[in-house]
Amino acid sequence: MEIGGSEGLLPVEEILSRYRNDREKLIPILQQVQEKLGYLPLAAMERIARAVRVPAVEVYGLATFYNQFRLNPPGDHQIKICMGTACYMVGGQIALDSFERRLQIGEDETTPDRRFSLERVACVGCCTLAPVVVINERVEGKVTPTRVDGILLELGLEGLPEQKNSASEEGGKTP
């Protein structure tokens, strides 16, 4: 659901007045709005642009220039895959692939039921625990594909999108 009505933008008004519509404070304003609303709805960006007296494209330009900002609502559980050097070398891509496969979405996407969203982030600075995944601000170290299943299970996602072959417990079937 797109936040658009004047009611949904109340937090934006509050944030704008706290920063006294200061153009220089555009980035903190956008950060606060995103923290409150989870993302930057178009209506909020337009409202901010009017308040600080810049063309809306300026605000949109900022929101798309910086990696931190998102233009779509996040999932209830935000999954961020670290793609720092150390993580990449020991399987960050594999972890990302595993999440994509399990959730059946790509990076920067949210599952249709809005429960999970997936994104890649630059180094979170926990290189000694590589590969690292950040689940709702909590850092998880040494994430293998098996651990990916475990993490999703903890978050309440049971079973695979494709039903796993029940015979696999006895060693699988010859195709």
Q: Site residues (CB under 8 A) for another protein? A: 23-28, 30-31, 61-62, 65-69, 83-89, 91, 94, 97-98, 101-102, 121-130, 132, 137, 139-141, 144-146, 148-149, 160, 164-165, 168-169, 171-175
**Cα–Cα–Cα angle for 85, 90, 91, nearest 5°?**
100
Shortest Å distance, C-beta 143 to another protein: 11
Shortest Å distance, C-beta 105 to another protein: 16
Strand order in the sheet with 109-110: 109-110, 116-121, 77-82, 133-135, 138-140
Q: Cβ closer to another protein: 79 or 83?
A: 83
Give DSSP secondary structure letters for 70-139: -SSPPPSEEEEEE-SHHHHHTTHHHHHHHHHHHHT--TTEE-TTSSEEEEEES--S-GGG-S-EEETTEE
Shortest Å distance, C-beta 6 to another protein: 25
Q: Cβ closer to another protein: 43 or 54?
A: 54
Beta bridge partners of 116: 77
Q: Cβ closer to another protein: 87 or 118?
A: 87
Beta bridge partners of 120: 81
Q: Cβ closer to another protein: 4 or 154?
A: 154
Shortest Å distance, C-beta 87 to another protein: 8
Q: Cβ closer to another protein: 46 or 149?
A: 149
3-state helix, strand, coil in the chain (%, to 5): 45, 10, 45
Q: Rounded to an integer, what distance in angstroms lies between the CA atom of residue 144 and that of residue 126?
A: 16
Shortest Å distance, C-beta 119 to another protein: 11
